[in-house]
Chains A and B, each alone.
Chain A
Amino acid sequence: EIMLTQSPGTLSLSPGERATLSCRASQSVSSNYLAWYQQNPGQTPRLVIYGASTRATGIPDRFSGSGSETDFTLTISRLEPEDFAVYYCQQCGDSPMCSFGQGTKLEIK
């Protein structure tokens, strides 16, 4: 079973700053199977990035994804107030199992 470990657990930044969120896999994951989701309190998760680096429909270009094998990164270039949320990475390369990371909370400093 592939485990995903996200770091940091909480990231405190100010609007306008750059955010870098990490997702590390216990085994190599094909980039095709790595996605990121955003969840605001009380809301449904929203797809942000899939295929490690492809932005989902409607996601602004300040969001970017990168990485390969066991190390993946979600970067938000200039934080807007609506970006403060919890972010989860997810893999489905370990078919038939899919797993999520434990989440990174991005909070306003």
Chain B
Amino acid sequence: QVQLVESGGGLVKPGGSLRLSCAASGFTFSDYYMTWIRQAPGKGLELVSYISSSESTIYYADSVKGRFTISRDNSKKSLYLQMNSLRAEDTAVYYCARGLDPRWYVFAYWGQGTLVTVSS
């Protein structure tokens, strides 16, 4: 069965950096777009970034463009999100998600999320 397990969250000061990871199993990771979605405490969902299977297509929300970098290692079945210049408004649970074949944009599979807290 499809499993997505995020890690790397934690408490970081404003201006700091953090790298999130998402370990995938139960499917052929290299065949799928992968997406990061976040949810600030008590708020709604926001798509942060996605990456195509071959890394030829990458998208960032305006709110993180220039500060976050998405990447993947298909040999390790892992997705990453490098977050730099973190701000208080980046505080959220970050979810790794996979689409419903062939619709990458229908998020049928989600990890349990990892909490990022940006605070001094």
Q: Which residues of A contact B (CB under 8 A)?
A: 32-33, 35, 37, 44-47, 50-51, 56-57, 88, 90, 92, 96-103
CA distance A47 to B107 in the complex (A): 7
- The residue from B57, B59, B100, B112 contacting A47, defined by CB atoms under 8 A apart: B100
- The residue from B44, B100, B108 contacting A88, defined by CB atoms under 8 A apart: B44
Q: Are A50 and B44 touching (Cβ within 8 A)?
A: no
Q: Is B88 an interface residue (CB 8 A)?
A: no
Q: Are B113 and A50 touching (Cβ within 8 A)?
A: no
Chain B 98-120 residues near chain A, CB threshold 8 A? 100, 103, 105-108, 110-113
Q: Is B11 an interface residue (CB 8 A)?
A: no
Expressed in whole angstroms, the minimum distance between the Cβ of B63 and any Cβ of chain A is 12
Q: Are A98 and B105 touching (Cβ within 8 A)?
A: yes
Contact mask for chain B residues 58-90; partner A; CB cutoff 8 A; 1 contact, 0 none: 010100000000000000000000000000000
Q: Are A50 and B59 touching (Cβ within 8 A)?
A: no
Query: What is the total of A-B residue contacts with beta carbons within 8 Å?
Result: 52
Query: Closest residue of chain A to B111, judged by CB?
Result: A44
Q: Which residues of B contact A (CB under 8 A)?
A: 44-47, 57, 59, 61, 95, 100, 103, 105-108, 110-113
24 example contacts (A-B, Cβ-Cβ < 8 A) are as follows A35-B105, A37-B107, A44-B95, A44-B110, A44-B111, A44-B113, A45-B95, A45-B107, A45-B110, A47-B108, A50-B100, A50-B103, A92-B105, A97-B47, A97-B59, A98-B105, A99-B47, A100-B44, A100-B45, A100-B47, A101-B44, A102-B44, A103-B44, A103-B45
